[in-house]
């Protein structure tokens, strides 16, 4: 699978742009602020129906316009596939495949598998648990529609239960039967999510460890640990035990929506004890493991988007990654960089076909 052609209209700072891409390696080069990252983000947008950097749709529309259009022509399984994403201010975003509109954005997730590596990934280390949950959910959802549907339902029930708790507080009342309906739904869905996350990490962590070893030549011992309240007690028990707290807080304080991943180096949090270089290597290994996992499960080679990757790693490691991923039958890569010569020197070493687009 690869992206053959991309057309952009009023997307972020790109008024109008059109590209015919190489099936292997594509380098988007130019000075800061010209829109290199926005091109990579538009490809991500085609895959996930939203921006990687700013999920607020209206904020991706060019300031001087009231709409944007992203049009991608893909080759997948020897078939032509057109994906079009458009949005107009004040209206719902539209995603179409071969001119047929999706009823739900979630139906599109996984059809165009993609992985992005960006300086913004540092949020996975420095931000709260929500960011890491979105990562794990995003990886699983690209290859498991049932998981994605359960996740959407679970989050909806949490929202409904929270509204009920607020209603109790505002009206000084309590309806046990209504609460039990939501508790039963959360317990069922939460168990499914928890079980799937455990199964996923059992497969994913060895892949991650292998990638980290390749990138760092096995210099340190790193680990990923899954932290979940459901590892201690079933969710129905937790919901009952924390009912008084939830009533006081007016929101649901226990469940799989509180799960987290602990990123560690030598058994200590990498956020506090990892150097900048170690953190960068950890994040790149995490994303390459995501690439490997999706490729293995879906049988489709994800598009790999390397945004300003030289900010994260030295040229030798970037060349190693490009060579690792761009070998025969292994997918399409997009690289953004400010130095055309540096980029071309790296991609030449891969012995793959490539195009350079200078903005």
Enter the pTM of the model.
0.92
**Residue 177: per-residue pLDDT:** 97
* Per-residue pLDDT band at 329 (split at 50, 70, 90): low
CATH topology for the 1-113+301-359 domain: Rossmann fold (3.40.50)
Q: Measure the CA–CA gap between 234 and 137, rounded to whole angstroms.
A: 21
pLDDT surpassing 80 at residue 314: no
**Residue 330: per-residue pLDDT:** 65
40, burial (CB in 10 Å: exposed 0-12, middle 13-18, buried 19+): buried
pLDDT surpassing 70 at residue 335: yes
**Which residue ranges does the chain devote to CATH 1.20.1050.90?**
122-299
* Per-residue pLDDT band at 57 (split at 50, 70, 90): very high
Span 215-259, pLDDT tens digits: 887 778 999 999 999 999 999 999 999 999 999 999 999 999 999
H/E element holding 285? helix 276-298
Residue with the bigger pLDDT between 321 and 146: it is 146
Span 108-161, pLDDT tens digits: 999 999 999 998 999 999 999 999 999 999 999 998 999 999 999 999 999 999
**Which residue ranges does the chain devote to CATH 3.40.50.300?**
1-113+301-359
Name the strands in the sheet holding 260-265, side by side, starting at the edge strand that comes first in the sequence.
222-227, 260-265, 268-269
CATH architecture type of domain 122-299: Up-down Bundle (1.20)
* Per-residue pLDDT band at 328 (split at 50, 70, 90): low
Task: Average the pLDDT over each of 11-15, 90-94, 239-243, 345-349 and give the range with the smallest value.
Answer: 345-349
């Amino acid at each position: 699978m690869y992206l053959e052609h991309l057309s952009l209209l009023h997307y972020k700072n790109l008024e109008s742009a059109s590209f015919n891409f190489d099936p292997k390696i594509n380098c988007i080069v130019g000075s800061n602020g010209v829109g290199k990252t926005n091109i990579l983000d538009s490809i991500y947008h085609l895959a996930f129906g939203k921006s990687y950097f700013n999920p607020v749709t209206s904020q991706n529309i060019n300031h001087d316009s009231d709409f944007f259009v992203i049009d991608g022509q893909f080759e997948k399984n020897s078939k032509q596939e057109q994906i079009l994403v458009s949005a107009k201010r004040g209206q719902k975003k539209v995603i179409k495949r071969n001119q047929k509109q999706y009823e739900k954005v979630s139906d599109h997730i996984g059809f165009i598998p993609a992985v992005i590596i960006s300086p913004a990934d540092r949020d996975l280390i420095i931000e709260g648990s929500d960011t890491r949950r979105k990562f794990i959910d995003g990886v699983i959802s690209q290859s498991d529609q049932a998981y994605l549907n359960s996740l959407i339902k679970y989050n909806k029930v949490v929202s409904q239960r929270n509204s009920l708790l607020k209603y109790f507080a505002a009206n000084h009342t309590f309806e046990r039967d209504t609460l039990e309906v939501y508790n039963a739904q959360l317990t069922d869905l939460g168990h499914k999510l928890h079980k799937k996350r455990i199964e996923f990490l059992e497969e994913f962590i060895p892949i991650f460890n292998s990638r980290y070893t390749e990138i760092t030549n096995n210099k340190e011992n790193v680990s990923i640990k899954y932290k979940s309240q459901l590892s201690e007690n079933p969710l129905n028990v937790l919901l009952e035990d924390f009912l008084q707290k939830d009533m006081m807080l007016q929101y649901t304080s226990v469940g799989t929506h509180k799960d987290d991943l602990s990123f560690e180096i030598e058994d200590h949090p990498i956020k506090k004890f990892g150097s900048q270089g170690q953190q960068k290597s950890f994040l790149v290994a995490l994303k390459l493991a995501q690439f490997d996992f999706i490729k293995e499960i879906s049988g489709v080679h994800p598009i790999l988007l390397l945004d300003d990757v030289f900010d994260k790693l030295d040229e030798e490691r970037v060349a190693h990654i490009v060579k690792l991923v761009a070998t025969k039958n292994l997918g399409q890569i997009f690289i953004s960089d400010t130095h055309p010569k540096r980029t071309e020197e790296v991609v030449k070493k891969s012995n793959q076909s490539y195009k350079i687009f200078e903005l």
